[in-house]
Structure 1
């Protein structure tokens, strides 16, 4: 049995150590290292996680609050939490949020392995094996998180009008905002995160929300006051979509 793990700590050396411990433990698999609880939230949307090694003292959102949020949102399926902290006064608070264990910094690999073994024993004893995949699709998320300046911003799909790719970043135009959000990412990376039934790439520099299209010509679409050209390899997929839409 292998447990998918993430490590969360705002101290670079502490984070590097815990990640190294995870990678050298045969029954653990490292799927993410994060220097903030907010970054970890995004990771939990992207990966199935069984166990979190979680620092408590962090800016913006501390480890205790993250653990409480996970307990509320994922009743019965929340990842197990092992707190890692330099402050022993948090031990009682940690157990109040059903933490599996508590590691007091600085700790060695033997202490880490004891906590990891406790997590494996808990899964073997109390959790059933994951069910076989079924044909029913998982519920689709209604938003994505974007890195905007120095924070993660949650943007609802329904609010997005279109996206414009620039050289080093992407402009995301949303309803009710006079200025686009600027995210340091690529249009391709965003395209992979967007549901294909709601968004389509029409140009090497543009992705549009299909539900926001107001008018269509042979080679362009209109969203608000802007006309976006349909070019190159993107013409045929849009023609196929249009043929279904106009039946």
Structure 2
């Protein structure tokens, strides 16, 4: 697999070094180098870029600001990020914008290659997941991003899903510890069949077969009670009416 990539850094020496590292890496193809995020946007809008080596502190548009602009893109139009920075206090922010890795300057080629290998492995796993994405229900599993890897989860084992501010918790049968994945509840909802799963609250999706009892304003799964949000009552009552 060849990854089309660009480098963005306002420091000429750092930008040149990253470009040289890219050019000597067989599975990376350099599609452009830019001294600012604003200059990079034109290429990102016109070409399919798989990976960005992105400095964080830059004038006009910071790396984090550019990352947030790209965060709304979906599918192949959303490039992955590897941050390159001289400051070590941005790791959490990098994780929040779904960065694949975080290279602290000065870094050598060995460190660069390790991050690039991680990007290639992740892209290959995404490709495999995409091939099965349209038949996830038939195949019986989906992939969740957990830290910097994709974890395969059996759909039948999902009990319910809880949405938090930056993460989603997926609660499974046969384990007390939920899977914590960096995604949105909406994105995960789109991957699941509405025949099997239903959103009953702004923060909750439940597997319908796991519901053990229902009241006017809540569903129960075992000892857990989940309120039914006002905007979801009509849809849930429509589902429930089929069995009454």
Q: TM-score, normalised by structure 2?
A: 0.52
CA contact (8 A) 1:9 1:36 kept: no
Q: Cα distance, 1:38 vs. partner?
A: 4.5
Aligned to 2:173: 175
Q: Cα distance, 1:18 vs. partner?
A: 6.5
Residue of 138, 147, 150 corresponding to 1:140: 138
Between the aligned partners of 1:240 and 1:213, the Cα distance in structure 2 is 16
Structure showing greater radius of gyration is 1
Q: Give deviations 1:64-113, integer Å, cap 9, x for gaps.
A: xxxxxxxxxxxxxxxxxxxxxxxxxxxxxxxxxxxxxxxxxxxxxxxxxx
Counterparts of 1:120-135 in structure 2 under 5 Å? none
Between the aligned partners of 2:31 and 2:128, the Cα distance in structure 1 is 16
Residue of 29, 37, 52 corresponding to 1:17: 29
Q: Cα distance, 1:37 vs. partner?
A: 3.1
Q: Cα distance, 1:46 vs. partner?
A: 2.4
Between the aligned partners of 1:196 and 1:12, the Cα distance in structure 2 is 43
CA contact (8 A) 1:7 1:18 kept: no
Aligned to 2:9: none
1:40 matched to 2:40: no
Between the aligned partners of 2:22 and 2:139, the Cα distance in structure 1 is 31
Aligned to 2:72: none
Between the aligned partners of 1:47 and 1:179, the Cα distance in structure 2 is 29
Aligned to 1:106: none
* RMSD, matched Cα: 3.5
Counterparts of 1:33-182 in structure 2 under 5 Å? 35-46=119-130, 140-182=138-180
Q: Number of residues paired by the alignment? A: 148
Aligned to 1:245: 243
Between the aligned partners of 2:199 and 2:137, the Cα distance in structure 1 is 23
CA contact (8 A) 1:221 1:230 kept: yes
Q: Label 1:17 to 1:222 Cα distance change in 2 as closer, same or farther (>3 A).
A: same
What residue ranges of structure 2 are gaps of 5+ in the alignment? 6-20, 33-46, 49-74, 81-118
Q: Give deviations 1:205-226, integer Å, cap 9, x for gaps.
A: 0000011111111111111220
What residue ranges of structure 1 are gaps of 5+ in the alignment? 1-5, 25-29, 49-136
Aligned to 1:188: 186
Q: Secondary structure at the match of 1:195?
A: coil
